[in-house]
Amino acid sequence: MRAVVQRVLSASVSVGVEVVGELDQPGLLVYLGVTHADTAADVDRLAAKVWGLRILREERSASDVAAPVLVVSQFTLYGDARKGRRPTWQAAAPGEVSEPLYDAFCAALAGLGARVERGVFGADMQVASVNDGPFTVLLELP
């Protein structure tokens, strides 16, 4: 399981013309990728890591300041472009595996106390954000 975590001043995700998730205050934008071997235990570990990660201003975590989190599913985090010019997606879990884990990740964050905004799994989304810093971290569970 991989997550790209960005500290943002604001962020939104739209499907077509409809805004489906939005952060109107500083928080975290999380792009979440799932691979074949990921489990519910991985979801809980990664959610706790994101919620407690001290990347907000003054070395605070989202849990310290009740910062909101916008979570967007992104299978392309498992793209492999080491050979040729066209990435392969073989390491990305199929939708029937990754969608329940995406839902569980959002629920785990909410269970920890986060206000969670979401994209729409599998949709063609447009993401807008104002990165703060910029500050971006890649988290990957072993």
Catalytic member of 6, 35, 75, 105 = 75
For residue 86, give its domain range.
Answer: 2-132
Look at residue 40 in the predicted model and tell me its pLDDT.
94
User: How does pLDDT run across 52-61, given as a tens digit for each residue?
Assistant: 999 999 999 9
In a domain, 21, yes or no: yes
The pTM for the full model equals 0.95
Asked about 88 being catalytic, the answer comes back as no
Q: Do 20 and 10 touch, CB atoms closer than 8 A?
A: no
Looking up residue 98, the CATH number of its domain turns out to be 3.50.80.10
Is 134 exposed, middle or buried, given 0-12, 13-18 or 19+ CB atoms closer than 10 A? exposed
Q: What is the tally of structural domains in the chain?
A: 1
User: How does pLDDT run across 8-43, given as a tens digit for each residue?
Assistant: 999 999 999 999 999 999 999 999 999 999 999 999
In a domain, 6, yes or no: yes
Look at residue 44 in the predicted model and tell me its pLDDT.
97
In a domain, 123, yes or no: yes
Asked about 39 being catalytic, the answer comes back as no
